[in-house]
Each structure stands twice: as C-alpha cells, then as structure tokens.
Amino acid sequence: MRLDSNDGHNVSYFTLAAYFDIGVFKYLYFLIILTVYVLIISANVFLIVIICITRSLHEPMYLFLLSLFANELFGSTLLFPFLLVQILSDVFCLYLYAGVEIFNLAVMSYDRYLAICYPLHYNTHMPFKRVAFLIAASWFPPFLIIVITTSLSFSLQLCGNIINKVYCDNYSIVKLACSDTTVNNIYGLFITLLTLIGLLTLILYTYTKILKVCFSGSKQTRQKALSTCTPHLASLLNFFFGCMFEVLQSRFNMNSVPNTLRIFLSLYFLTCQPFFNPVVYGLKMSKILWAHG
C-alpha cells in the first residue's frame, strides 16, 4: 500500500520498531512463533475435519464452531507468516479477522441462549437456513466495515513510517498522518461504539437469560448450562483480554514500556484466540472427543 507524505515523498512501506534491538532474541521469537503457528494450524484443521466428517456433529453449535475455527485459520495463516519474515501485513486482513471473531462469538452466545432457555424448541428456532444466515452475518458486516475503514486511510498523507508494533494497524497509520483525519476518527469511533454496544448488548442479554434459567432450574440444568457455556465464556474473556492489550498499545504512549513487553502485547492479540479456541473447545467438549474416538 502506497501512501503520500506531506513533504512530497512517497511512503511505500512502514518500519515496525518492535523488531529493533532484539538481538539474539530474534531466534527465540522465531522458534516460539513457528511452534505456536504449527500448533494452531494442526489443532484448527483437526477440529474442522472432525466436524465435517462426523454427521452427529452437524448441529448449529458445531457449525458455528466450524466458522470460528475457519476464522482462526484465516487470521493465523495471514498473520503468522508475516511475523516470521518480518514484512508488512495487510491491515485489511488484521481487522477483518478481529471483526469476524467478535461477531462469531456474539452469534454463538445467541445459539447458547436458545439451546439452554428453549431446549425443546431449539431445532425449530435454529434450522439450517438460520445457521447459514448467522454465519454469513458473522462475516459480511465486518468485511463491509473494514473495506470502508481501509479506504478512508488510502488518501492520508503521512509524516513518518515508524510503528512500534510487530504488525501494522489502521489506527497507527492514522496517528502518522499529516493530513486531516477527522473523518477517519469520527467513523472509527462511531463504528467501534455501534459494534461494541450492539454485540455486547446481545451477549449480556443472552447470558442474563441463561443465568435466570440456571438459578430457577434444577441442579442438572445448572450443570448442563455450565458445561455448555464455559468454553464460550472463556473464549470471550480471552478475546477481550487480547483486545485490551491492543487498545493500551494503540491509544496510550508506551515509550516507557520495554520493547520486549511491547512485542509480547502485540503477539498476544494475534495468538490468543487461534491457539486458545481449539484447545478449550477440543478439551471441554466431550462430544468432539467422543466422535474422534
């Protein structure tokens, strides 16, 4: 991506300062990233294959998981090779991955709500057509949002090309701009608030209803709800924890933070979900393990 700076020179690349002065640690970083990448690909592909070939797993919950695991492959495959060779990753791919992740998790919370609160009518409320629609809804809105976001950044004039991360993100580009960024900031703030408020409202509503059923139901109902929702809740918390790290780096001055810690914060956002999801769902969901056996 080529962006023009205000001094008449073209900025055709960014320098990621997180790679400065890592010395001999670069070999350790490379080994860790490569190991995690291989584990992520293996785990996600394994679970996708299990779900695809096992007819008893062709249920809404596992189809949503299929979409989630596919997104983990998408994000990690586009991001990890970049980390390994230290070249610029496409901002579009980074944001699309993060957007699909939160949309997919929100849809899964709605699915868990129907399964626990309306178990007898679950199949009626969640036919295959609705599952397909919800999966499409997890991918299309983030795609449209990120198309507009990156399009607004193409015309920015930049004053520099130093980004203190291991990857390039849109807000870091906006901070480097010499030209007016009012539209970028307003659109970014509006979309962020609209998306977070909408999705968090859905998630909080569904889990409020689930908790209500748990408190008023039998011990067996509470145990079922706990075993069903624990992996999803763990995935949600892990994702938002990674997002919190990302916000800290993007919005606040972290020059006083050691470079090694900044690298860790950047890597956590990229690695937390693709590595965490197949592990937590593969270990916690006995039905998947049983199908493999």
The residues near 104 (Cβ < 8 Å, ≥ 6 apart) are 64, 67, 68, 71, 135, 138
Return the closest-CA partner of residue 149 out of 183, 102, 194, 106. Answer: 183
Backbone angles phi, psi at 10, to 5 degrees: -90, 130
CATH code assigned at 76: 1.20.1070.10
**pLDDT band for position 261 (50/70/90)?**
confident
Q: For position 293, what pLDDT does the model report?
A: 55
Q: Which structure tokens are listed for 89?
A: 């990753």
**pLDDT band for position 6 (50/70/90)?**
very low
Q: Which domain holds residue 30?
A: 3-292
More confident residue, 27 or 115: 115
Q: Which structure tokens are listed for 147?
A: 């198309």
Per-residue pLDDT tens for 115-168? 888 888 888 999 999 999 999 999 999 989 988 887 888 777 877 777 766 667
For the residues 72-79, what does the mean pLDDT come to?
Answer: 80
C-alpha distance from residue 18 to each of 7, 128, 158, 288 (Å): 26, 45, 20, 39
Other CB atoms within 10 Å distance of the CB of residue 111:
25
Question: How many domains does one find in the chain?
Answer: 1
**pLDDT band for position 2 (50/70/90)?**
very low
Q: Is the pLDDT of residue 5 over 70?
A: no
More confident residue, 233 or 31: 233
pTM: 0.73
Tell me the β-bridge partners of 5.
Answer: 158
Cα-only R_g, the chain: 21
When mean pLDDT is compared across 1-10, 93-102, 126-135, 207-216, the lowest value belongs to: 1-10
Q: For position 19, what pLDDT does the model report?
A: 58
CA distance 189 to 7: 29
CA distance 242 to 196: 15
Q: 68 with 108: CB under 8 angstroms?
A: yes
Q: Which residue has the tokens 């190991």?
A: 35
